[in-house]
Structure 1
Amino acid sequence: MSMMPVTDSMFLFIETREHPMHVGGLQLFTPPEGAGPDYLREVRHDLLHNSSVRDLFRQRLARPVNTAGYLAWRADPALDLDYHFRHSALPRPGRIRELLELTSRWHSTLLDRHRPLWEVHLVEGLDDGRFAVYSKIHHSVMDGVSALRQLQSTLSDDPDARDCPPPWGIRESQKSRRVPADPRGLLRTLTGTAKQLADTPRAAWKVAMEAFREHTLTLPLEAPKTMLNVPIGGARRFAAQSWPQERVRKVAAAAGVTSNDVVLAMCSGALRDYLIEQRALPPAPLIAMVPVSLRSRAEQREASGNRIGALLCNLGTDKADPADRLTTIARSTADGKRLFKELTPLQTLLLSALNVAPLAATPVPGYVGNTRPPFNLVISNVPGPRKQMYWNGAALDGIYPASVLLDGQALNITLTSNGDNLDFGITGCRRSVPHLQRLLTHLETALAELEDAVG
């Protein structure tokens, strides 16, 4: 049995039927040349009977200690891979539309807490001959960054490689013996943590000065109330599409900003157009929470746990000019990143906790309907593969993340880099965000407007 960090157990504590707390992803593949009609059936059979399982995917929840919830993991003595790894087919005509509808339904259902908290679905029946893999894993086990690292660890840049492990596996070359804990290292960690905690008042003063004297820092509860900030149901909609990275890079270079600023400006323009379409655009600018990885360089390859900070960004949706929106976003992100660099890792974590703390009150009846949201939505950019990747000869065509929603947060936009593309996954509450797929059209319009504005 192993204890879980409080940051991980909280995802179990706050989970309800309306708020599934798992992260997911949809991957599209082109089968290798010469793949026959039984290709996927043979792939599944081989993975079920000839694959190892990473320890992380064997762990299940230990019995709750008390009403506070689950605090520990234990190994599942009889992992049922046939339950976790499922083979499905799309209804005709097998378009991407049918695939996204199926993904929406899978992403809406809770994981079984009596088993290890993950599922993988192998999907055939696409009219263009490709196949898909949808996977989901509980946020208490992995955050989105960790899940993407796990996926990348199973891929190869060699189209002829046939030794790629399954999504729940690990390469033989990556296996290592567990190193016993060093008590002296633990003492050093505790000493360093105590020192950082002692510096917390100084960090709080720095934040206060930024916010109230220089008026540069975006704080929680400054966001306007919108149609996206309402109580949500348990059903989800999921939409996905890819854009060439080169288009984003050219805009960033011409405007003298980062590519991530351009991505945020794409989202800003899309949200503005969508809310105008719904006759629901507020006069004040929308605020996005942008997750920031807090992993050190030594932890960059780690594929487990949660190491995420929270930066708030002014999206400038009150401005009609796309160039003005981009300038506002670039200034807002630069101010936030500068402050993060001046704080210690623990102080950064504490500031991030302050930014998202109001979400803890969302289960209180009437809270969401009668208060301003801490931010309007989450927009996350997760680094992915830098070149074309393959899984046992099948070419990876797309990686589309599906994320978590909460009361008062009915929409999430997460994207990842994938070779020459940026792959967007948009998750929304099925009841609260009508015509979710329209955001894909508005993202293209927003990028085209940015190209014209800086061209």
Structure 2
Amino acid sequence: MALMPFTDSMFLLVESREHPMHVGGLQLFRKPEGADEHYLRTLREDLLKQDDVPELFRRRPASPVNTAGYVAWTHDEHVDLDYHFRHSALPQPGRIRELLELTSRWHSTLLDRHRPLWEIHLVEGLPDNRFAMYSKIHHALLDGVAALRHLQSTLTTDPDKVDCIPPWGTPRPPRERSPRRPLDLLGTARSAIGQVAGLAPAALKVAREAFRENTLTLPAQAPKTMFNVPIGGARRFAAQSWPLARVRDIATRSGTSRNDVVLAMCAGALRDYLIEQRALPDAPLIAMVPVSMRKQAESASTGNQIGALLANLGTDKASPAERLAVIHRSMREAKRIFRELTPVQALLLSGINVAQLGISTVPGVVTHTRPPFNLVISNVPGPREQMYWNGAKLDGVYPASVLLDGQALNITLTSNGEHLDFGITGCRRSVPHLQRLLLHLDTALVELEHAVA
């Protein structure tokens, strides 16, 4: 058995029927030319023969029914791949609508803690020679970004390569870390203590920016909306792609970033959706946006530096151009503040932005307090080139995310070659007609194009 990190334990402890804590993704593929009607069955049978399962995909809680807490991982010597890797077919007429409904059901169900915490479903029955794969894995094992990176590691840019590893495979052995000398550890500890000691001046700086200069968005400034309610366990999932070139062109013409344009798309869609539901608040919606805090001069070997920024979406503005300007200014100022902080200070202040979520399951908290923000909008880097899996062309990658009490809607997108693939996850009870957000996203993109023309 291996000791379980505190964060892993927390993801397991907060999970309930209403709060499944797995991340997922829906991938669309186009079969290779000449594939017959038995292509998927044969592919699955061949992959099941690759039973060298890495430790991560063997891992499960040592005490799956322990209510007092989880302190250790154990792993299964034999993994029942036939259970974890399933073959399904869509009901007729086999449209994307049926695929999304099936994905919604799978994303709503809890993983079995008596088994390793993952499932993969191969789905046939789609038109145009396509098939799908839905996968989910517990957040205690991988977060959404890591899960997407793992998926990319199983793909190839070679359309003729037919020996790709299975989704549970490992492309290469993990790189061994060189042991750190005691002096190095001491220096790191001193550095961390110094950065924490500097948190008070950093907090004063943030307060000055927020209250005197009125440039920074802080927690609890978000209005109460229909998204900020206690949630049930059933999910809806919607997905669609848009050309990256359209977003890039708007960003160039407006002098903003691509992520600003994506946020403006979401802001326009949310405004139209809430008007449709007669639920648009007077105050602007606030989104939590995970962003990289890495300085351009830093190398990729310095580790992850992720900040939880709060962005004013400007949903109180009727003009798309004004919303984009509000978003650009909000994100620019938040990034500037975070760049001036040390990594530890930025991490701690990011924690303040999301701290209220830690008590969201306490009865009455969501109902009687203002939300720290209204929803999460996450833009995750994906593959930059056209990718293939055992000869099948990757057409789409649509992330499916975690929801919490008070956060009934999540929008996550990823780049996929020359497209942006959006995955929208919503509480089935709290967010009706979730697919309408796709139409509103398209409308918002067109409006932005006209606004900068």
Long gaps (5+) in structure 1:
none
Return the alpha-carbon distance in structure 2 between the equivalents of residues 415 and 166 of structure 1. Answer: 24
**8 A contact 1:323–1:454 mirrored in 2:** yes
Q: Secondary structure at the match of 1:93?
A: coil
Report the Cα distance in structure 2 between the residues aligned to 1:106 and 1:65, rounded to whole angstroms: 22
Structure 1 partner of 2:433: 435
Question: What secondary structure sits across from 1:332 in the alignment?
Answer: helix
Distance 1:408 1:122 in 2: 33
CA shift in 2, pair 1:51/1:394, >3 Å: farther
Matches within 5 A, 1:358-437: 358-437=356-435
**Which sits farther off after the overlay, 90-99 or 64-73?**
64-73
Looking at structure 1, the residues matched to 307 and 115 of structure 2 have their Cα atoms a distance apart, in angstroms, of 29
Does the CA-based 8 Å contact 2:293-2:338 persist in structure 1? Answer: no
Distance across 2 between alignment mates of 1:110 and 1:67: 16
Cα 1:67/1:194, change in 2 over 3 Å: farther
The equivalent of 2:147 in structure 1 is 147
Q: Are 2:152 and 2:383, in contact at CA under 8 Å, matched by a contact in 1?
A: yes
Alignment of 1:15-34 (within 5 A): 15-34=15-34
RMSD: 1.9
- Structural mapping, 1:235-254, within 5 Å: 235-254=234-253
Q: Distance in 1 between matches of 2:34 and 2:322?
A: 52
C-alpha distance after superposition, 1:152-209 (max 9, x if no partner):
00000010112211111122xx224644643534444333322222222122122112
Classify the secondary structure of the residue corresponding to 1:229: coil
State whether residues 60 and 113 of structure 1, in contact with CA within 8 Å, keep that contact through their aligned partners in structure 2: yes
Residue 88 of structure 1 corresponds to 88
Question: Structure 2: where are the runs of 5+ without partners?
Answer: none
CA contact (8 A) 2:28 2:133 kept: yes
Moved more, 362-371 or 415-424: 362-371
Aligned residues: 449
Q: Which amino acid aligns with 1:80?
A: D
Answer yes or no: is the 8 Å Cα contact 2:380–2:414 preserved in 1.
Answer: yes
1: CA distance between counterparts of 2:24 and 2:114? 19
Alignment TM-score, normalising by the size of structure 2: 0.95
Task: Provide the residue aligned with 2:286 in structure 1.
Answer: 287
Report the residue type matching 1:197 in the other structure.
V
Question: 1:97 matched to which residue of 2?
Answer: 97
Indicate if the aligned counterparts of 2:58 and 2:76 stay in contact, CA closer than 8 A.
yes
CA distance in structure 2 between the partners assigned to 1:83 and 1:195 by the alignment: 50
Matched AA of 2:188? T
CA separation of 1:15 and 1:32: change in aligned 2, threshold 3 A: same
Structure 2 SS opposite 1:448: helix
Whichever residue aligns with residue 72 of structure 1, its letter is A
Determine the structure 1 residue equivalent to 2:340: 342
* CA apart distance, 1:399: 0.2
Cα distance, 1:65–1:405 mapped onto 2, change above 3 Å: closer
Q: Following TM superposition, by how much is the alpha carbon of 1:347 offset from its aligned partner in structure 2, in angstroms?
A: 1.1
Partners of 1:37 and 1:65 in 2: how far apart?
42
Shift of 1:292: 2.2
Equivalent residue, structure 1, for 2:354: 356
Q: Tell me, yes or no, if the aligned pair for 1:265 and 1:329 is still in contact at 8 Å.
A: yes
* Equivalent pair of 1:51/1:166 in contact (CA under 8 Å): no
Deviation, 1:361, is 2.1
Rounded to whole Å, the distance in 1 between the matches of 2:432 and 2:301 is 40
C-alpha displacement of 1:447: 0.4
Q: Distance in 1 between matches of 2:232 and 2:324?
A: 33
Give the aligned partner of residue 261 of structure 1: 260
In structure 2, what is the equivalent of residue 232 of structure 1? Answer: 231
Q: TM-score scaled to structure 1, two decimals? A: 0.95
Q: Deviations over 1:277-323 (max 9, x none)?
A: 000000000000011246884458x9xxx974311000000000000
Q: Secondary structure of the equivalent of 2:451?
A: helix
Report the secondary structure of 1:246's partner residue: helix
